[in-house]
Structures are given as C-alpha cells and as structure tokens.
Amino acid sequence: MHRQHGILLLIFVLLMGINSHARDSVAPSTHMNFFWSALRGRQQVLSCADNPSVCLDREKNPWNGNTCCSGLCKDIMSDANNCGGCGNACGYGLVCCYGKRVDTQNDPQNCGSCFQVCHGQEKCSFAMRDYGG
C-alpha cells in the first residue's frame, strides 16, 4: 500500500515539474504539446474550425490528421468515419485502408488488415490467408 502511495506521489511531482516547464517555456516541444493535449483531450488541440491549415502544422497537431473535417483534424487515409474524404464512413465490416473502404475479411490485397496480400493462389477467407485450403 505504501509503495502505491510513493508511486502516485512520484507521478504528481513529475507532473508538477512538467507543468512548470510547459508554462515557463516559450515554445514547448512537440512531445510536450502531445502530452498536455492528451491530458486536456484531443479535440482542443485538433480543432480546425477557425483555421483549417492547423492540421498541417506538426507543432500544433502532432497526430496524422491532415484534413479538416467538421472542425476536427482527421486522417482521411485511415479514419473509418472519413475514409478518402470527409464524411465517407466505412460500412459495417469495412476498414479504411489508404483512403479506400475494404473488406479485410475477404479482400486478397488486404487480408486481415491493410496491405496483407495473399500470394499466388492463396485466398482470403475470414481474414486469414488460405484458410481451409
């Protein structure tokens, strides 16, 4: 029990030190931006409603969302709700692979996950290459 309190105290002290560093520094690193934005919540940092170009700025937006969709930076190459463009949602059972909606359960070019290719005569069934064959 005492060890848990010690760990919590250590985390608290580290957070307080990081907080004072973030407040005092003029330009905190991208990692600090990422850390603090994760604590505050992603939407505050990823909001692009006022300035869509913020999605392209890696200092302000350390995530991969390069496209402003409904006021938030989104990665249209992998986001299932904005696949290939804003509002293009993948249907049930589909996955967004490089901006295209694919069925990873049966697609021989994306078997089980994006870009897992079946070779030769292999077939993709139930997200497995050459299942039962």
Domain segments of the chain: what residues?
28-90, 103-133
Query: Percentage of residues in the chain with pLDDT exceeding 90?
Result: 39
pLDDT of residue 32: 54
Q: What would the two tokens of residue 63 be?
A: 């995530």
Each residue's pLDDT tens digit, 86-95: 999 999 999 9
pLDDT category at 28 given cuts 50, 70, 90 is: very low
More confident residue, 24 or 34: 34
Q: Which of 68, 74, 78, 75 is nearest to 98 (CA)?
A: 78
Q: 102-117 burial by CB neighbour count: b if 16+ within 10 A, else e?
A: bebbebeebbeebebe
Q: How far apart are CA 75 and CA 94, in angstroms?
A: 16
Distances (CA, A) of 37 to 43, 61, 62: 8, 9, 10
Q: What would the two tokens of residue 103 be?
A: 């069925």
Q: What would the two tokens of residue 49 be?
A: 């409603």
